[in-house]
Structure 1
Amino acid sequence: MQIKHLLSGLLALCLSFTEPANAQTDYIGTAAKVPAHPRILLLKGEEKAIQKTIAADNNWRKVHQAILTESDAIVNKPPIERIQIGRRLLDKSREAIRRIFFLSYAYRTTGQSVYQQRAEKEMLAIAAFSDWNPSHFLDVAEMTMAMAIGYDWLYDQLSPAARTAIKEAILKKGIEPSLDPKYNSWLKAEHNWNQVCNAGMTYGAMAIYEDLPELAKQVINRAIETIVLPMADYAPNGAYPEGYGYWGYGTSFNVMFISALDKLFGKDFGLSQKPGFLQTAGYLENMTGPSGKPFNYSDAGGGGGLQPAMFWFANKQKDPSLLWVEKSRLLNSQPPSLVGDRLLPAIMLWSAGTHMEKITAPTSAMWVGKGKNPVALMRTSWTDPAAIFVGMKGGSVSVNHAHMDIGSFVMEADGVRWAMDFGMQDYESLESKGIKLFGRTQDAQRWTVFRYTNLVHNTLTVNNQHQRVEGYAPITASSAAPSFMHAVTDISAVYKGALAKANRGIAIVNKAYVVVQDEVETLNEETTIRWTLLTPANVTITGNNQATLTKDGKKLLLEVAAPGKLTMKTWSTDPPNTYDAPNPGTILTGFEVTIPANTKATITVALKPGNAADKPTDKLPPLSNWKND
């Protein structure tokens, strides 16, 4: 007992040196009482609600059974080994959450000891690791969350020796490194690292709360105090600056954090009411097109996936229509395909018995988000798989994980994604070749990566130059009018020094086709503008101002109206560097146009799917007349 108190005092003292003297507020309070184990996310006896959900809805029964079946498979696998890849142990930490969360869920919903015993074996193996790689603290955060869930959910069944070893590991390899300034710079981060690391440390603190209550409270108070930094980026109305892929990371862990706070203390200390946070569910839902593919700008993959956190948002907002895309993923996926998601068991906690038939389509066909990386997301229908969908963005190249994609867009029609985005390249594939991937300056090595510059995004390149890192492009107008749904972004700042002005408007006209209208003003020299569209389709140049795209038996006409000398083109997507990822089955198409010095010019591109190809393009007003709703 004396050793425990000595350690508690030592760590509390250490914490006091890592925090500014007057920075931390005691949100929890001295009178806080915490329940016995299990206390994280799912209290003792609350398994009954899950059993009720499973009994009432076959769809949830299938998900539950998929978790159990996967847990059976995990039982027969050897424990995770400490194998680091480059500077990351992260894949092992993520697999640890998946295994331990699944096994713990399986035990709590079935009572079968084989799951508890296998989870204990996994946790003891992880506890014996030399460390959890604090130099890349995401690894520590996710490993700590994994161990905390298993320790808490299986506490009464763990052997005394296992409890001691796991608790010691959570403390020494999880929480204690977070007190060291060498490893905790994420406390000041305004991006996903803050969300994930604070969540992981909080889970660790909650798990061992009764042993080290003062330390646990300080860690949790620290998290409540600092997680507001990245949460500020959801303001004003929910657009997540880091894009679809990192929404699934940062926001999901933010929800894991808030949900655990709410369960343990009966409140979330106002965090869920921060501007834009609850509205971010609308952003995530609208980011997916009819094909099921997301608008994967910035560092995101090209595929979409089930997002358990969306069920938390839908329940918080009492709006089942937020789950329209999630419903489709659940109903159209084989449940075993979902088990790669390490947070999947949380969906059974957050679904709250939501019946699929109560999930109806959203009423609005357009969603516009402001903030650091503003987006406009529009479609002609939520229920027609052949609907037109457009996602466009403004924003800044200097946002975390951003590409030089300001003004870029994706577009679908007839079930085909005609205008696409490569998205991210695997980090280790670049870092292992010596690429310093996360610089944000104009001359950063990041901009030597083929996929990351404006040259391969669906935007403009001026005089073969990169977009400016320091520029910002706001969305200046938008309308959800069905006959002319549109948005406009002022992209002038990212072409500073190359153009005097540049504005881009994108519209869905009469629910039939898409128009991209660029208005530019040149400086005092002749200027060449390259307009590109990245596509998986076959491309044929069919005229002086036309190209025809074909894919899967469907057709899209690309038709250009522009002043000056216009040359229709295609460009290969074979990458120039050995460290670049290959890009099979893709091509760039578009044109180059030369515009005289000191000239205002309008460039209009119509993207006409199917029967719309035979109809004339409507003459559109200047962007200054594209009004807000």
Structure 2
Amino acid sequence: MPIAHPRLLVTSFEPLRKTVTVDVFAGQYYAAVKADADNILLLPPRPYAIPDGQRLLDASREVLRRAYSLAITFIVEGDVRYSTRLWDELSSAAAYPDWNSQRHFLDTAEMTHALAIGYDWLFDVWTESQRLTLRTAIRNFGLLPGLKVDQTDYDFRQLDHNWNLVCNGGLVMGALAIEEDEPEICREIVALAAESVPKAIALYAPGGAYPEGVGYWAYATKYLVAYLATLNSALSDEKGFTQSEGLAVTAYFPLYMTGPTGRTFNYYDATEEIHQTSEMFWLASTFDSPVFGWWGMQGAANEPVSWQQSPAGLLWYRPELSQGPADAGLPLDRTFSGSEVVSHLSEWQNSQANYVAAKAGDNSTNHGDLDLGTFVLDALGVRWAVDLGPDDYNLPGYWFREPGGARWELYRKRAEGHNTLVVNPGAHADQLETAVGHIERFECGADAGFSVLELDKAHPDIEYWRRGVGLFDARSQFVIQDEVTLTAPGVIWWFLHTRADIELGADLRTATLSSEGESVVVRLAEPVDATFQVLDARPLSSSPDPHGQDRNEGVRKLALALHDITEARISVQLTPIDSSTDTGTAPLRPVTSLEQWRF
């Protein structure tokens, strides 16, 4: 049996009340939460709305954020205006016709989470009639549909990606909130989750990365933390899940996948939005990591209260757990096995630093793209090589990810929409939909760091492909080098997408990228007879161009094409030009084979 209320995430609010009065940062964090609650007082409850005909998710997340802000503010202030307004929000959601379980169960799980927090945290405030209203909604709109998903085409308990953690996490919170009134239903929900969740936790192994990318890392981890914290607070038993391989180091993933510009390496269906989420405080406390706490503090200090930047972080914040990566002596380079991504950096906590991140990985991953070999690049406070991220989730065929599926007709999901090579382009998928690549070498030192990616399986016409990515010359310059052998003479395209202006040199072997008053010079060291060209970020003439896909306005691509080629070495050097010192362009680094790289 769970203990008395409150029991979701916490068992007492006294530490929270004390922390926000004695700690400066916690006081400022709470002031932002209270300001959010004060603003909510002026708003009507969030109406039921499915604007795209598929998802109630925006409403669920808005109700969830409001529940946290209003509940925490009431708990600290004791002002009935906040509890009254919270009741209006929760009772409105309880009166919805449904929580959209029939279309998109994520919406259901998040709304169940919202009402569970409101029910549990203010349990002693509500009348029995109010409790009955909330319990009934949690039971009928959340838990009962959750017990029937095995009769649908999308049983989240059989999945291993973010749906597993979000849906199980939200439902378990609802179940443990009302367990004493619905014991059989609730215990079944908890038991089913305990059987299902290990499938999803396994994806964090071995190195802590998350296969779906950093954006979905944030989503999955938000609910994994809520699930584990609730098991611990309500049952004093998180079933040993915190000892799962990869969890103790998983918070390094968003840290290393974020460049000094504050933009993430947003491969797959992720945006460039930074993920310094409130769950970092739980990860810091659970795994005793001051760097994780520092990362969470950056988000709480710099981002507004939101669904992502949840007020729940106040519950886990510990003042003593805060140390920046520079002071902690964190390595500048890191590789994440399993997901096969890597990053190299010149300096921590410097927005002008040089940064490159690249990936091999598995094209068949949920939310995956045909993007083996792609990279992003930051220097001088600018993101120079960009990933275009997701397109409209409601585009026809967006989720048809099987070989030959319509997803692979969309520019942003194809190799040609990334910073990688395209071999023998045409209307077909331009990488194998099931291709897998690996990080073959990873070396770093004080003055340099590099990785070599093994990408042989990217395309059936490729016999051998290695891509080297690195920083050299005291980490002041970048090099991207490809060594490729095709099975027969063919065409190879090289692409770099950028929002910068591109000016080609007279010999067409040099390009100057300019943005925000800064510049990077891109030089083609090999092949000696190849030249750059500038293209719009649009499909090649031989590629599909589905109606409705994003036009990628404001993005162009630096490109080169090699024709009738069997073997090629493409070596491109990128040099940031420091306008404050007018350093000019450093000499080209001599080209050597990737096997000889010893920076």
TM-score range, shorter chain: over 0.9
Quote the residue 2:365 is aligned against.
399
Does residue 514 (structure 1) correspond to residue 473 (structure 2)? The answer is no
Does residue 273 (structure 1) correspond to residue 223 (structure 2)? The answer is no
Quote the residue 1:320 is aligned against.
290
Does residue 68 (structure 1) correspond to residue 38 (structure 2)? The answer is no
Quote the residue 1:623 is aligned against.
594
Out of 531, 538, 562, the position equivalent to 2:494 is 531
Quote the residue 1:57 is aligned against.
23
Q: What is the CA–CA distance in structure 2 between the aligned matches of 1:613 and 1:296, rounded to whole Å?
A: 31
Amino acid aligned to 1:173 = F
Q: What is the CA–CA distance in structure 2 between the aligned matches of 1:627 and 1:186, rounded to whole Å?
A: 47
SS in 2 for 1:516: strand
Quote the residue 1:209 is aligned against.
179
SS in 2 for 1:162: helix
Quote the residue 2:89 is aligned against.
122
Does residue 369 (structure 1) correspond to residue 369 (structure 2)? The answer is no
Out of 109, 115, 119, the position equivalent to 1:147 is 115
Pairing 1:297-312 to 2, within 5 Å after superposition = 297-312=267-282
Which piece of structure 1 moves more, 555-564 or 63-72? 555-564
Quote the residue 1:479 is aligned against.
443
Q: What is the CA–CA distance in structure 1 between the aligned matches of 2:447 and 2:65, rounded to whole Å?
A: 47
SS in 1 for 2:573: strand
Q: What is the CA–CA distance in structure 1 between the aligned matches of 2:598 and 2:577, rounded to whole Å?
A: 28
* C-alpha deviation, 1:626, in angstroms: 4.4
Does residue 591 (structure 1) correspond to residue 560 (structure 2)? The answer is yes
Q: Write out per-residue CA displacement over residues 351-395 of structure 1, whole angstroms, 9 at most, x where no aligned residue.
A: 123465788455211111011x31001101003221111111011
Indicate how the Cα distance of structure 1 residues 593 and 565 shifts in structure 2: closer, same or farther if over 3 A, else same: farther
Which piece of structure 1 moves more, 258-267 or 575-584? 575-584
Quote the residue 2:522 is aligned against.
558
SS in 1 for 2:142: helix
Does residue 92 (structure 1) correspond to residue 59 (structure 2)? The answer is yes
Quote the residue 2:134 is aligned against.
166
SS in 2 for 1:427: coil
Q: What is the CA–CA distance in structure 2 between the aligned matches of 1:627 and 1:260, rounded to whole Å?
A: 49
2:289, 2:321 within 8 Å by CA — same for their partners in 1?
no
Runs of 4+ in 1 over 3 A off after TM superposition: 323-331, 353-362, 574-578, 625-628
Q: What is the CA–CA distance in structure 2 between the aligned matches of 1:425 and 1:514, rounded to whole Å?
A: 29
Quote the residue 2:374 is aligned against.
408
* C-alpha deviation, 1:448, in angstroms: 2.1
SS in 2 for 1:423: coil
1:565, 1:595 within 8 Å by CA — same for their partners in 2?
no
Q: What is the CA–CA distance in structure 2 between the aligned matches of 1:231 and 1:571, rounded to whole Å?
A: 42
Quote the residue 1:499 is aligned against.
462
Amino acid aligned to 2:101 = P
Q: What is the CA–CA distance in structure 2 between the aligned matches of 1:615 and 1:358, rounded to whole Å?
A: 32
* C-alpha deviation, 1:566, in angstroms: 1.7
* C-alpha deviation, 1:541, in angstroms: 1.0
2:57, 2:107 within 8 Å by CA — same for their partners in 1?
yes
SS in 2 for 1:293: coil
Quote the residue 1:182 is aligned against.
151
Q: Write out per-residue CA displacement over residues 28-58 of structure 1, whole angstroms, 9 at most, x where no aligned residue.
A: xxxxx42111111121xx3222233223332
Residue identity over aligned pairs, in percent, reads: 32
Out of 586, 590, 605, the position equivalent to 2:572 is 605
Does residue 541 (structure 1) correspond to residue 514 (structure 2)? The answer is no
SS in 2 for 1:130: coil
RMSD: 2.0
1:238, 1:369 within 8 Å by CA — same for their partners in 2?
yes
Q: What is the CA–CA distance in structure 2 between the aligned matches of 1:340 and 1:279, rounded to whole Å?
A: 25
Q: What is the CA–CA distance in structure 1 between the aligned matches of 2:323 and 2:438, rounded to whole Å?
A: 39
Indicate how the Cα distance of structure 1 residues 558 and 613 shifts in structure 2: closer, same or farther if over 3 A, else same: farther
Amino acid aligned to 1:158 = W
Amino acid aligned to 1:467 = Q
Amino acid aligned to 1:204 = G
Q: State the number of aligned residues.
A: 580
Does residue 567 (structure 1) correspond to residue 567 (structure 2)? The answer is no
Indicate how the Cα distance of structure 1 residues 564 and 615 shifts in structure 2: closer, same or farther if over 3 A, else same: closer
Indicate how the Cα distance of structure 1 residues 176 and 580 shifts in structure 2: closer, same or farther if over 3 A, else same: same
Quote the residue 2:124 is aligned against.
156
Quote the residue 1:341 is aligned against.
307
1:490, 1:502 within 8 Å by CA — same for their partners in 2?
yes
* C-alpha deviation, 1:313, in angstroms: 1.2
2:143, 2:175 within 8 Å by CA — same for their partners in 1?
yes
* C-alpha deviation, 1:564, in angstroms: 7.1
Quote the residue 2:259 is aligned against.
289
Quote the residue 1:450 is aligned against.
411
Quote the residue 2:48 is aligned against.
82
Which piece of structure 1 moves more, 264-273 or 250-259? 264-273
Does residue 470 (structure 1) correspond to residue 434 (structure 2)? The answer is yes
Q: What is the CA–CA distance in structure 2 between the aligned matches of 1:69 and 1:519, rounded to whole Å?
A: 56
Q: What is the CA–CA distance in structure 1 between the aligned matches of 2:304 and 2:275, rounded to whole Å?
A: 8
Q: What is the CA–CA distance in structure 2 between the aligned matches of 1:609 and 1:623, rounded to whole Å?
A: 23
Q: What is the CA–CA distance in structure 1 between the aligned matches of 2:565 and 2:128, rounded to whole Å?
A: 80
Report the TM-score, using the length of structure 1 for normalisation: 0.88
* C-alpha deviation, 1:450, in angstroms: 2.1
Q: Write out per-residue CA displacement over residues 541-583 of structure 1, whole angstroms, 9 at most, x where no aligned residue.
A: 1123211111111111111123375231111125754412242
Amino acid aligned to 2:306 = G
Quote the residue 1:353 is aligned against.
319
* C-alpha deviation, 1:437, in angstroms: 1.2
Amino acid aligned to 1:534 = H
Indicate how the Cα distance of structure 1 residues 134 and 341 shifts in structure 2: closer, same or farther if over 3 A, else same: closer
Amino acid aligned to 1:60 = A
Indicate how the Cα distance of structure 1 residues 481 and 141 shifts in structure 2: closer, same or farther if over 3 A, else same: same
Report the TM-score, using the length of structure 2 for normalisation: 0.93
Q: What is the CA–CA distance in structure 1 between the aligned matches of 2:239 and 2:431, rounded to whole Å?
A: 41
- Structure 2: gaps of 5 or more residues: 540-544
1:285, 1:323 within 8 Å by CA — same for their partners in 2?
no
